[in-house]
Structure 1
Amino acid sequence: MNYSKQVQETVEFADLVNKIQSLLDYLGLETSELEDEREHAVKTNQPVYHQAINNNIKQIYVTTSTLLAIRNDIESMHDDIQRHINKEKKALSQAGKQNDNA
């Protein structure tokens, strides 16, 4: 087995995209709940509570943005690995044809 294929299998086994997506899903649910609480804080005139909720929503936004960037990097890495595997397969195939012709 060639090195590129081993790297691809290792990356796929780690399943990083799905792990990150699980975190993004969880943070989305948390944000939804916080928005409901923020609405309640506004209705009941609790400015300190409202501000604390806003801060939590901002923290989740930053975390979500970072996770999205990581997910995009992982997807790009997967594409690069696949491109290198295809390039390697093509080179091996051409080397095999040259040996057959010799």
Structure 2
Amino acid sequence: MKLYTVDKALLTDTPEIRIGAKVYKVDNRLSTVKKVGEAVKEHPQEEMDATIRLCLGEAAYKEIIGMDLPAPAMQEIVVIISAAVSGITVEEAKKRFLGA
């Protein structure tokens, strides 16, 4: 019989991203990922908002939207969040999600 285990770090570590001087925890739970998928499916044009709001939380969403960043910066934030949620590098996320 073979036994496969999941490392404790994968079960408990919360990824973080830095935007400017501020660090935000990324909610990478499966339930959150599913909520993002459902929100994007219902309203594809709100992918950026849904990803930021659901993965970083309402307070972080308001802070980031309040920065009034350029669209390319917002897209980069979503890619970075996607990388953190997926447990991959930003470069891998760009290839996967942007086809870059």
TM-score when normalising by structure 2: 0.31
Higher radius of gyration, 1 or 2: 1
TM-score when normalising by structure 1: 0.31
Higher helix share: 1
Larger RCO: Structure 1 or Structure 2 (Cα < 8 Å, ≥ 6 residues apart)? 1
